[in-house]
Structure 1
Amino acid sequence: MKIRHKKLAIIAGALALVGVIAALVLNALNSNIALYVSPTDVLAGKAPQGKAFRIGGLVKTGSVTRAADGLTISFVVTDTEADLPVSYRGILPDLFKEGKGVVAQGRMEGTSRFVASEVLAKHDENYMPPEAAQAVGDAHNRAAQKKAAVEAAGAAVAPAPAPAQY
């Protein structure tokens, strides 16, 4: 074999090795990605089926319940438009409270309950995870648009006031 052919064989082998390594790294990264989905989208069926993903929003006031074992907790995450029941077995972060921001990672159990494997709470009074803040803001905007549409429809249908008779 000529030196030129040996160099080409080494270059081809190195490129094949780099390709295999890149494919393995990308496969590992793809299997560990957890997408963010709002509670509204989850209940609309837009959540990935059979895969882990993240939900976020506010912990609904009055929704936190603890089982007798002390480790199993159930609560409701809301984006002010939709509520999603969540169950979690483990120790919650110290900053986890009702009415505060939370992000939970896990999977859907059936069609209406999210089973979390990890719960993250906000770390100061001004912080809400960007995804959760956007979901809450989007829900507020949709609610305001619905209210404006109802008011506009009501104004168009409302009869004119009768003239005063003296």
Structure 2
Amino acid sequence: MKTLKKRRRVQVILLAVVALVLATGLIGFAMRDGINFFRSPSQVIAEPPKPTEVFRIGGLVEEGSIIRGQGKTVRFVVTDGGESVPVAFTGVLPDLFAENQGMVGTGSYVNGVFEATEILAKHDETYMPKEVVDALKKQGVYKEAGES
């Protein structure tokens, strides 16, 4: 009688372990495309990612760098004060997108140009994405609101 209970208990434990491993594997598989790492322009220049890697880049749009091309293609340069990365985006830019303003883009770095699939801009005069603020502070460029 005891051996039957022990055997059943071991079977239940093994089944639970297999279910846990399977669930963890499925969650990891589902999230593999949903995680986009953030990089500053300095990090992109220092260690260029593979062209197939999708990531987020953020910084300030350089003054005088916005070039509107044929159709909806827009080219500009994003900087963190240390390095600059050219960006190409085809689509409609957010209304608040402007020079010397913070932005975050999602896309890939191909042949020295960040090809963005999505561009996000700040939503008021004081907001800047945390990742962009951290990168600019690291470069010594960021100034708090009210500083000159």
Q: TM-score range by the shorter chain?
A: 0.7 to 0.9
Q: Give the number of aligned pairs.
A: 138
Residue aligning to 1:83? 84
Give the TM-score of the pair, scaled to structure 2: 0.84
Q: Where does structure 1 differ by over 4 angstroms across 4 or more consecutive aligned residues?
A: none
> Which structure 2 residue ranges, 5 or more long, are not aligned?
142-148
Q: How far apart, in 2, do the equivalents of 1:106 and 1:54 lie?
A: 7
Residues 1:131 and 1:47: Cα distance change in structure 2 (over 3 Å): farther
> 1:45-83 deviations in whole A, cap 9, x for unaligned?
x243231111111011111111221x2111110112211
Give the TM-score of the pair, scaled to structure 1: 0.75
| Contact 1:37 1:54 (C-alpha < 8 Å) held by counterparts | yes
One-letter identity of the residue aligned with 1:23: G
Residue aligning to 1:34? 36
Instruction: State the shift of 1:125 in Å.
Output: 0.5
Aligned partner of residue 24 in structure 2, secondary structure: helix
Q: How far apart, in 1, do the equivalents of 2:22 and 2:42 lie?
A: 40
Q: 1 or 2, which has the higher helix percentage?
A: 1
One-letter identity of the residue aligned with 2:102: G
Aligned partner of residue 33 in structure 1, secondary structure: coil
One-letter identity of the residue aligned with 2:63: T
> 1:5-42 deviations in whole A, cap 9, x for unaligned?
23421331122012111122123324421111111121
RMSD after superposition:
1.8
Residue aligning to 2:117? 117
> Which structure 1 residue ranges, 5 or more long, are not aligned?
142-166
Q: Computing the radius of gyration over CA atoms, which structure comes out larger, 1 or 2?
A: 1
Q: How far apart, in 1, do the equivalents of 2:132 and 2:6 lie?
A: 59
